Amino acid sequence: MIYLDYCATTPMSEKSLTIYSKVAKEHFGNPSSLHDYGTMANHLLEQSREDIAKMIQAEKEGIFFTSGGSESNYLSLLSIARGNKHRGNHIITTKIEHPSVINSLNVLLEEGFTISFVPVNSYGEVELELLEQEINENTILVSIGHANSELGTIQNMKDIGGLLKCKNVLFHSDCVQTFGKIPIDVEAFHLSAVSMSAHKIYGPKGVGAVYLSPDISWQASVPNSSQEKGFRQGTGNVPGIAAFTIAATDSIQSMDNELQRFEQLQKLFLSSIDSSKVILEGHPTRRLAHHLCLRIKGIEGQYMMLECNRRGIAISTGSACKVGQTAPSKAMTETGKNLDEAREMIRISFGVDTTEDHIHYIAKAINDIIENFYY
């Protein structure tokens, strides 16, 4: 079967699997323990913290390890909001954010915070003028994802961050879809917080990280927690964190070459399909190179996904975190599509094992499905 759903998850790399097994066997100590086993585990944990920090041009002290991207979003948003409530209670986001961001903000809504949603344009981009209009004297935090998981559109982080810095507003970004795939610079983007995940970059599931700027105030979600400097509870998953770090290291080192390769695969696909029936959604150029958000005119995405699966191709109809929901993609409706158009969306995403032969195969499959459907 041809796997083309790398934005949902990736297989663990051989290096990541090897490191996980080695650390689990040889450095199984609790990193909080004071004996030598604990000291060795803690050394690995702190080295991983330093390595991850360097990858986003951050300070080691700002890195906290979590159980994944969703927990990273939850803990960072709640910790920042509660730790800055003395400054105000207004938070700004978009309606196209990952469900873990929206769900976390709904928790804060029940605590008395107010949430505003800045609209996005037809490409899924946040426009600075509209963002600035939403900011008021009570605004303490803005959460905008680096790249949308369904549309693939990359936000203008430098300009957004620059505006928020001038307004003295904290900036959180869900970078789960971009960490290890395109450059992230917390200083250049003026980011206060970043959410990351391991399983999107060939690391293990159940591991992630948060960057919190050492310059900002935050409040622990669970008081008196002792792990991760009070940021979260739970014994440090040292094997998972070490495997995450090696997977991230490899992804960063191969980033430039993979970006070029994915751009060529993307162009090859788009030149091989029936453009009168298949529409590329999201921004045509400011988008993730390994990501294609497509709308097949008149054919529901669920049908296309099942027909591709029948032909031995794994794709998706959007974020894996929304599987089972009957409502169409929020990202599609927020960019101006009606409900029927939104239901036509499919997502194809490339990875390390994707070849030109795979692209030729899926392009032909999609063209054949369309032809059989209409004729």
Q: Inform me whether the pLDDT recorded for 321 exceeds 70.
A: no
Q: Tell whether pTM > 0.85.
A: yes
Query: What backbone torsions phi and psi does residue 192 show, to the nearest 5 degrees?
Result: -90, -30
Shortest CA distance to 196 belongs to which of 95, 82, 98, 108?
Answer: 98
> Domain of 324?
2-8+255-374
Per-residue pLDDT at 326? 59
Quick one: average pLDDT of 101-113?
97
Per-residue pLDDT at 345? 97
> Are 219 and 271 within one domain?
no
> Are 271 and 237 within one domain?
no
> Are 105 and 206 within one domain?
yes
- Confidence band of 325 (pLDDT split at 50, 70, 90): low
Quick one: average pLDDT of 336-342?
95
Q: Which two tokens stand for residue 209?
A: 């990280």
> Are 94 and 225 within one domain?
yes
- Are the C-beta atoms of 138 and 169 separated by less than 8 Å? no
272: left (phi over 0), alpha (psi -120 to 50) or beta: alpha
Q: Inform me whether the pLDDT recorded for 141 exceeds 90.
A: yes
> Are 201 and 242 within one domain?
yes
- Confidence band of 142 (pLDDT split at 50, 70, 90): very high
User: What does the alpha-carbon distance between residue 343 and residue 338 come to, in Å, rounded to a whole number?
Assistant: 9
> Which is higher by pLDDT, 35 or 120?
120
pLDDT tens, position by position, 232-250: 888 889 999 999 999 999 9
> Are 204 and 228 within one domain?
yes
CA distances from residue 322 to 49, 110, 173, 327 in whole angstroms, order as listed: 31, 23, 20, 9
Per-residue pLDDT at 373? 86
User: What does the alpha-carbon distance between residue 21 and residue 27 come to, in Å, rounded to a whole number?
Assistant: 10
Q: In percent, how much of the chain has pLDDT > 70? A: 97
CATH number of the domain to which 282 belongs = 3.90.1150.10
> Are 39 and 138 within one domain?
yes
- Are the C-beta atoms of 314 and 7 separated by less than 8 Å? no
pLDDT tens, position by position, 9-18: 999 999 999 9
Q: Indicate which residues carry an active-site annotation.
A: 321
Q: Specify the number of domains making up the chain.
A: 2
> Are 115 and 221 within one domain?
yes
Q: Inform me whether the pLDDT recorded for 324 exceeds 70.
A: no
Quick one: average pLDDT of 266-284?
95
> Are 87 and 139 within one domain?
yes
User: What does the alpha-carbon distance between residue 148 and residue 140 come to, in Å, rounded to a whole number?
Assistant: 23
